Copies of this chain bind each other. A is one copy, B any other.
Amino acid sequence: MKQEIAYITSLIGDPVRTKILWTLLDGRAYTATELAICADTSPQNISMHLGKLIQANLLVAEPQGRHKYYRFSRPEVAYAIEAIGNLIPDEKHRKIVGNTNNAAIKHCRTCYDHLAGEVGVSITAELIQQKFIEPEGKTYLVTEKGSAFFSEFDIDTDELKKSRRIFAKPCLDWTERKPHLAGALGAAFLEKMLLSDYFRKTKDSRAIVITAKGQQQLYDRFKIST
């Protein structure tokens, strides 16, 4: 058992592989070359590292033409990386949050495939406050009122529950240190809000920008000022 854990941690523990995993945290698939640039190393080297991560089933690759796209094999990998992110020492932590470069990403960003950051945490708190969802052990339950709310976004919660993925659960946020909505519901919610143009993804970053429409809606629905 300890050996299995040690095998996984030693894989995660390499600086280059950490950079790969950290980059992939935004839930998108990247090509080997893109990852080589992010990790600041050679194509041969990145290929070696990606091979190890795939062999351990942390990543999967999909060839598309002469490119090959790499992404997480399952959400659990992203959760583990996020959990490690929470361990960054506080003093160092503050600096980063205060760093203006990261202001956008602190404010509003994706965590794998759901909404995180200040805005993600605020929305989740408000969903609980308005009794749309309620904490139940390690998951969230959706109330009747909540089902109606999500159906406004064209989300069928009953249908979602049938998926093999965990329906709704809290995910600890590394900047806010508070939980935000993850799981199938969290992913669906973000997807629909993107479709509705509340948010737009930025290129090359996990940051998300809030549209004028989104600002209005966040205030109307959740009394969140951005």
Contact = CB atoms under 8 A, between A and B. Distances in A.
A96 interface: yes
B102 A87 contact: no
Interface size class of A (residues with CB under 8 A): 35 or more
A10 B13 contact: yes
Contacts of A82: 83
How many chain copies does the complex carry?
A: 2
A33 interface: no
A212 interface: no
A45 interface: no
Interface stretch (A15-23, A118-126, A214-222): A15-23
23 contacts: A1-B22, A2-B19, A2-B22, A5-B18, A5-B22, A5-B81, A5-B84, A5-B88, A6-B18, A8-B84, A9-B12, A9-B18, A10-B13, A12-B13, A12-B84, A13-B14, A58-B87, A76-B87, A79-B172, A80-B83, A82-B83, A83-B84, A84-B84
Interface of A: 1-6, 8-15, 18-19, 22, 56-58, 76-77, 79-89, 92, 95-96, 102, 172
